[in-house]
Amino acid sequence: MKKEGKWILFFLYLLLFSSPVGGEELPFSLEAVTYPSSLLPQETATLSFLVTNLTPEEKNFQEEVELPSGWLLLFPVGSFILPGGEKEVRLVSFQVPLSTPAGDYEIIYRVREEKEVTTLEEKVKVSILPVLEIAIFPVRYPAYVVGGESYEITFSLQNKSNVPLNLTLEGEAADGYPLSVDKTTFSLSPGESTVVQVQVETEAKINRSLKHWVKLKAKATSPQGETIEKESRSWVDIIPKVSGETDLYHRLPATLKIERGGKGGWGVEFSGEGTLEEGGKDKVAFSFITPYFREGSSSGQYAYDLSYENESTGVYLGDRSFYLSPLTRYHTYGRGIEIHLLEEKEFSFQGFYLQRSDGEKVGALSLIYSQEEEEGLALHYLSSGGGDMVSLEGKGNLGEVEVEAEVAQGIPEGEAWRLKFSGEGEKWEGGGSFLSATADFPGSVYDMVQRSLWLSFSPEDKLKVWGRYFEQEENLSRDTRRSSAPARETQEVGLTYKMGGELSISHLLWERKDLLFPPDYSSQEDLIRLSYGDSWDDCRTRLYYEWGKKEDYLKGEEQAVANWGLSLSYSRDDWDAEAFYSQGVGRFTEVGEVPRSSWGINAQYQVSEEVGAELFFRQSEREGYDPYRYLSLGVSYALPNGNMLELSGRQTFSESFKDGSTDLFLTYSIPLGIAVSKKKNIGTVQGRVYEELHPQEGIEGVILRANGIPAVTDEEGKFIFPSLVVGDYYLEVDRATLGIGRIPTVKTPLLFSIQEGEKKEIDIGVVEAASIRGRVAFFGPQEEGLLQKEEAPLVEKGGWGGVTVVAKSDDETYFAVADREGYFQFPELLPKNWNLYIADALPPHYYLEEKTISLTLEPGEKRELPLWRVLPEKREVILLEEETLF
């Protein structure tokens, strides 16, 4: 057994460490060390291979790489020498082409030992991942197009993916202009590209230049169902045939609304507001509202409101709220008239007379003195069914403190007074108010006293300490004919700390009691309130939690209180949304009340320029009561003509969402412009562009601009700027629209002025431009030397390069600089008389053969001038005999 074991070990040794039977030992080994398992198209990769010389002798190796078709080898491979027993890592770098389809590919690396002719190879598999990418951009489009004409845009699309794509195209034009796309569905192979033509129709009735865009949106789908979307825009200037406002009247903006209710009935509202003249200071406003008409009946009554204001006068007539002062009549609604006089003076007068819906008639007068907006005095008188009164009201500043006060006297009895003040310093702000009115005072407030104070202090930027106090008592006379004598008091002190948002903690004490005997109520709430508010980007949030107790002194009962709430809001250009949730017992409710929870959402969304939507929802629940739910939805659509269509609905739900009360309303609004005056600060410019040699022939399609405002000639060559604001203008003609080699017969830009109400006529002829070409050259004697033959001929010595040549007519001057050989040209000149001369000084001892060249050009003439020669002056040479000194 021992001998058998030895033979088995020897046999295993031969298997492991000997070459195969009949084979030969390899002189070297090859092994792939590092390589990527997957790549993206256009990605660069490097593979490493380990070559080991298994012999003690130095070996010469030759390497080669076999890549998939089209793949780029970044560095060439070659030969290398490896000493005996040494190892070397060889690198292979390549780039995957952009259009390589997704799939598995094989890379082969071979190494050959030259002496023993042994070749080894390693095969590496690499997966090319699928990539979805498309390119879309406009390649050809006009710079501008005249309103009413169609134009074409060429877009280029390229499949930059490595998989085939199915594409769907969708076009859209600004202002809803109609367009057509020549192909909307097609396929592209990897790397394939195509062009798409988009035809756009424009509006002929525009009166101002438009920067118009066309959008082409492409949706691409791969064979695996993956999709990508991309879009591109092209911009074109659309030029109107007639620019500016064609309406010569100043109009008052107004709106007519017609509303139809879902349960039958309809109503009308007509309103407007504006000035009587363009840029004027006379302002008017009006509204007229009908009752809601139903079959055989109507609800409500007719209401109207008219007003007129200028710098010194205001007249207000109709159904509105009339205001005098806080003590007399703060707001009184009724139908009447109000007049303000001399409002721009130190002294002014105001007054109104009205009748309320209950039949009471009220009249008031005020005399006001004021030099500064923050300071002034006012004397008021008011007469009503409840009695007459007079008051003196004033406001002003005492240092840094703003003060407002009023005292009032009833006729024949009763009095009241109030005081309000506020101020602020570097680290504090505060204020307060006091009010008192007797029981027989006939004004807005009576038989009451009110006091309030508030103060905040900031010892540092992030910290604020604050407090508020409010107290009010009514029915001071304890009149038993009134149901109660309410008194309430509020105290609150707190801290606010800024830590990104604002964190506040405060102590609140509310007290409410009836001062009549026997009292109906007497309670107090004592709470701690913690709140935090913050905002970031377009969002804002507010969170509060308050806890404490509520006591009923009459019943001798007490209740623990815990209220909390959260609100979130989001606002940006097209979105405005807010949501809230709150839970707790109501303020000044009886002890033992079951907590109520409520939540809601309010959102407005501008879906597009034409479509808007809004949502309003509220829900409130309390144990033992039916839940209350209210929903309001609305959608508005702006029609192309400016009219507005609005659909809204309101639903008040009962206990379930199935039952309840529903109201639907459909409103149609029509914007109107009521002509109230003729515009005064504008003028009109019109004219004609025609063939100068054939004046009866107008030229169509010529673009003109007055200070950038465009106009286009019609088929008769006529153009018009119907409403240019008074001032100076430069009229330019777009030469490209005249045709090649054609120019206007007047010098442009042409300066003109517009006066108020002026109608100016400007006609412009067009001709074929003429041109001049010539050459300036120096001449000198044929023979050189000190002494020349008297009649030696003059020959050209070279062109006068860089010289400035001037072409001048009676009203135009042009310059040209000669090239190095002396050639110059004026490519576009009007056909008329011209004088040419040289502006530069001549070299010493030279003169021009012709100082000025005068010529008359004909339309379209291309004049070649004879050589303009610069000649040497003739000079005498005097030989002086040298004097001999010795």
Instruction: Dump pLDDT digits (tens) for 841-881.
Output: 888 889 999 999 999 999 999 999 999 999 988 766 555 55
Peptide bond into 41 cis (omega under 30): no
Model confidence at 11: pLDDT above 50: no
- Copy the structure tokens of residue 138: 């406009």
**CA–CA dist 203, 67 (Å, integer):** 58
Model confidence at 823: pLDDT above 90: yes
Q: 647 - beta bridge partners?
A: 635, 666
Q: Which of 763, 774, 764, 767 is CA-nearest to residue 829?
A: 767
**Burial, 25: exposed, middle or buried (Cβ in 10 Å; 0-12, 13-18, 19+)?**
exposed
Greater pLDDT, 583 or 725? 583
Q: Are strands 770-781 and 862-864 parallel, antiparallel or unpaired?
A: parallel
**CA–CA dist 104, 350 (Å, integer):** 91
Q: What is the pLDDT of residue 672?
A: 87
Peptide bond into 178 cis (omega under 30): no
Greater pLDDT, 18 or 406? 406
Q: What is the pLDDT of residue 493?
A: 96
**Burial, 417: exposed, middle or buried (Cβ in 10 Å; 0-12, 13-18, 19+)?**
middle
**CA–CA dist 721, 206 (Å, integer):** 13
**CA–CA dist 649, 666 (Å, integer):** 9
Q: 250 - beta bridge partners?
A: 677
Residue pair 576/607 in contact by the 8 Å Cβ criterion:
no
- Copy the structure tokens of residue 661: 């009360």
Q: What is the pLDDT of residue 793?
A: 82
Residue pair 312/345 in contact by the 8 Å Cβ criterion:
yes
Name the pLDDT band for 806 (thresholds 50, 70, 90).
very high
Q: How much is the average pLDDT of 637-647?
A: 89
Q: What is the pLDDT of residue 885?
A: 42
Name the pLDDT band for 247 (thresholds 50, 70, 90).
low
**Burial, 243: exposed, middle or buried (Cβ in 10 Å; 0-12, 13-18, 19+)?**
buried
**Burial, 198: exposed, middle or buried (Cβ in 10 Å; 0-12, 13-18, 19+)?**
buried
Q: What is the pLDDT of residue 660?
A: 59
- Copy the structure tokens of residue 653: 């739900």
- Copy the structure tokens of residue 633: 């939805």
| Amino acid type, 143 | A
Q: How much is the average pLDDT of 545-549?
A: 94
Residues 6+ apart with CB under 8 A from 348: 340, 341, 342, 367, 368, 370
Percent of residues, the chain, with pLDDT higher than 90: 49
Peptide bond into 518 cis (omega under 30): yes
Among 11-25, 667-681, 789-803, the minimum mean pLDDT is found in 11-25
Residue pair 692/766 in contact by the 8 Å Cβ criterion:
yes
Q: Whose structure tokens read 């209220």?
A: 563
**CA–CA dist 554, 548 (Å, integer):** 19
**CA–CA dist 619, 634 (Å, integer):** 18
* Measured CA distances, 597 to 561, 578, 631 (Å): 14, 17, 17
Among 101-105, 220-224, 658-662, the minimum mean pLDDT is found in 658-662
Among 479-493, 501-515, 537-551, 702-716, the minimum mean pLDDT is found in 702-716
- Copy the structure tokens of residue 484: 């109660």
State the maximum Cα–Cα separation within the chain, in Å, rounded to a whole number: 156
- Copy the structure tokens of residue 281: 């200071």
Q: What is the pLDDT of residue 877?
A: 57
Q: How much is the average pLDDT of 524-553?
A: 92
**CA–CA dist 738, 718 (Å, integer):** 14
Residue pair 194/137 in contact by the 8 Å Cβ criterion:
no
Residue pair 292/300 in contact by the 8 Å Cβ criterion:
yes
**CA–CA dist 331, 240 (Å, integer):** 53
Greater pLDDT, 724 or 689? 689
**CA–CA dist 691, 702 (Å, integer):** 12
12: part of which helix (H) or strand (E)?
A: helix 2-17
Name the pLDDT band for 363 (thresholds 50, 70, 90).
very high
Instruction: Dump pLDDT digits (tens) for 110-164.
Output: 999 877 778 899 999 999 888 888 889 898 888 778 888 889 999 999 988 888 8
Q: 81 - beta bridge partners?
A: 60
Q: What is the pLDDT of residue 658?
A: 53
- Terminus-to-terminus CA distance in the chain, angstroms? 146
Q: What is the pLDDT of residue 298?
A: 65
Q: Whose structure tokens read 């969402």?
A: 657
Q: What pTM value is reported for the model?
A: 0.59
Determine the 3-state secondary structure of 205 from DSSP.
Answer: coil
Q: 232 - beta bridge partners?
A: 216
The DSSP call for residue 149 is -
Model confidence at 602: pLDDT above 50: yes
* Region of residue 725 (left: phi > 0; alpha: psi -120 to 50; beta: else): beta
Residue pair 267/259 in contact by the 8 Å Cβ criterion:
yes
Q: What is the pLDDT of residue 454?
A: 96
- Copy the structure tokens of residue 885: 């000194």
Q: What is the pLDDT of residue 789?
A: 56
Residues 6+ apart with CB under 8 A from 253: 272, 273, 274, 671, 672, 673
CA 537 to chain centre: 17
**Average pLDDT across the chain, whole number:** 87
Name the pLDDT band for 293 (thresholds 50, 70, 90).
confident
